[in-house]
Amino acid sequence: MDSTSGTGASPPRIIIVGGGFGGIAAARALRKAPARVLLIDRTNHHVFQPLLYQVATSILAPEHVAAPIRHVLLGQGNTTVIQAAVTGVDVEKKVCLVDGVPLPLPYDYLVLATGVQHSYFGHDEYAEYAPGLKTLTDAVQFRNKILGAFEACERTPVPRDHFELLTFVIVGGGPTGVELAGAIAELARQTLAAEFRRFDPASLKLILVEAGPRILPSFDEALAAAATAKLTKLGVDVRTGARVEKVDAEGVLVQGERIRTGNVFWAAGVKGSPAAHWLGADADRAGRVKVLADCSVPAHPEIFVVGDTACLEEGGKPLPGVAQVAIQQGRYVGRLIAGRLKGKPAPPPFKYLNKGNLATVGRNFAVMEAFGIRTAGLFAKLVWAFVHIQFLVLTSSRIGTLYRWSWKVLTRQRLARLIIEPGSTRGARSPLVPDQQHAVNGVDPTSTTTARS
């Protein structure tokens, strides 16, 4: 199948599993390819993961950070999108097994961009008490939980319960944990400050727990120190070298200290999607598929794995699970396949162009390392805002997000502060529709979104 030009025969079929950064980039690179492209995602939308924490902390609405996939790929006449959960791959027969689809779906080329799921280091029971932030469902639930804690304090002003109700523990000092901590601190100390009468929202106890020696391990040490100082100034208790030993209904056990809380958020540790398992391919310790220099699976030149669920080594180290890697790999693979279909020679191996690293701490502070510059503060935050706006795939999301951010800057108000409880699920799903897998809170076996570690 190396140089199928499609003359006479029906066009080759390319299946892309995952509508996150990697999958969308691959699909877009294939838009003019002489093939039939099918993109499968378990949700109907592409999530801009880096801004999920803003949905969780009521700055943005879900509609600002997600776009319907079939709308994103609307202009591509060769592409079909279906919402379904892939449950397996038969590499001999070259078919995908899909929940809710009676017959397996055949492919000539397969691109797996299924992302990662949260890892609880062998303690999956933690997931119930310490949800992660990977999907819109997660973000809406985080939001309910955070806002619900404040509502509970206003409802029953009992000091002892306050202590537990208003204690928030975030596990994991990478960018996600840091951004969440900064945003919750500001939510409590600024946005909500005047709105509660019976207690002071600023009295919340916010603890960021990191097992390693410092937060933001992937950043320069000086930048990590600046971020730590900023978090501390915002009232966050940053605990490094602190391992979580237990998570349960009562709270967490950190280095022998019991912290009673109902609000634990997991931002530490990810593991690959089941892609490696589906393919029977070699995986690294985190379950990510070990791929060759062109992102293909050894012995299967027609199968590619991109993004967080792939392990591609460059300079002896695996590339990080960040959005830029997924986007570049997806685009690379899309172009490679398109080139192959037209009989072009194979491109050079994939090379990651590191455009920099950014993490934000609160509304007017970020740390940035890019183009040889290392900086912390307002300038970095403006760059962060610019970059993230550019990345949103829909113009409408850009306008909407810019509007919300502007409103927040002008008024310090967050307008997405709604607690929308999940209803009973029965009325919501047509009984005539075959049952779909639904993402269990925090664990998403075929996650299609790209994580940042």
> Of residues 330-349, which lie at the interface with a copy of itself (CB under 8 A)?
none
Give yes or no: 92 in active site: no
Q: Which residues 420-449 are close enough to bind a copy of itself by CB under 8 A?
A: 420-434, 438-442
State the Rg of the chain over Cα.
22
Nearer to a copy of itself, 104 or 301 (CB): 104
Residue in 39, 86, 140, 326 binding a copy of itself, rule: CB under 8 A = 140
**Nearest partner of 447 among 42, 48, 127, 177, judged by Cα:** 42
Gap between the Cα atoms of 372 and 369, Å rounded = 7
Smallest distance, a copy of itself to C-beta of residue 26, A: 18
Alpha carbons 398 and 50: distance in angstroms, whole number:
14
Nearer CB in complex with a copy of itself: 43/119: 43
Q: Which residue of 1, 106, 121, 155 would you call a contact of a copy of itself, by CB under 8 A?
A: 155
Q: Is residue 263 part of the contact set for a copy of itself (CB under 8 A)?
A: yes
Least distance to a copy of itself from the beta carbon of 173, Å? Answer: 21
Choose which of 11, 217, 377, 400 interacts with a copy of itself (CB under 8 A).
400
Q: ∠427-46-101 over CA atoms, to 5°?
A: 55
In angstroms, the CA 189 to CA 185 distance is: 6
User: Interacting stretch for a copy of itself, rule CB under 8 A, among 99-107, 227-235, 365-373, 374-382?
Assistant: 99-107
Decide: 91 and 107 in contact? Cβ < 8 Å: no
Which residue stretch of 7-15, 40-48, 106-114, 231-239 sits at the interface with a copy of itself (rule: CB under 8 A)? 40-48
Judged by CB under 8 A, the residue of 71, 277, 300, 342 near a copy of itself is 71
Judged by CB under 8 A, the residue of 91, 95, 161, 202 near a copy of itself is: 161
Q: Which of residues 181-200 bind a copy of itself (CB under 8 A)?
A: 194-198
Does 396 engage in binding with a copy of itself (CB under 8 A)?
Answer: yes
| Angle, CA 296 vertex, CA 292 and CA 300 arms, to 5° | 110
Instruction: Verify binding: residue 151, a copy of itself, rule CB under 8 A.
Output: yes
In this complex, which beta carbon is closest to a copy of itself, that of residue 121 or of residue 379?
Answer: 121
Contact 112, 445 (CB under 8 A): no
Point out which span in 128-136, 205-213, 239-247, 275-283 binds a copy of itself (CB under 8 A): 128-136
Residue 393 DSSP one-character state: S
In 10 A of CB 243, how many CB atoms? 14
- List residues bridging with 376 in a β-sheet: 367
Specify the stretch interacting with a copy of itself by CB under 8 A; choose among 98-106, 206-214, 222-230, 348-356: 98-106
Q: Dig out the tokens for 66 from the structure.
A: 């997600």
Quick check: 323 and 48 in contact, CB under 8 A? no
Classified as helix, coil or strand, 159 is helix
Question: How far is residue 184's CA from residue 161's CA, in Å, rounded to a whole number?
Answer: 20
| Catalytic residue numbers, as ranges | 179
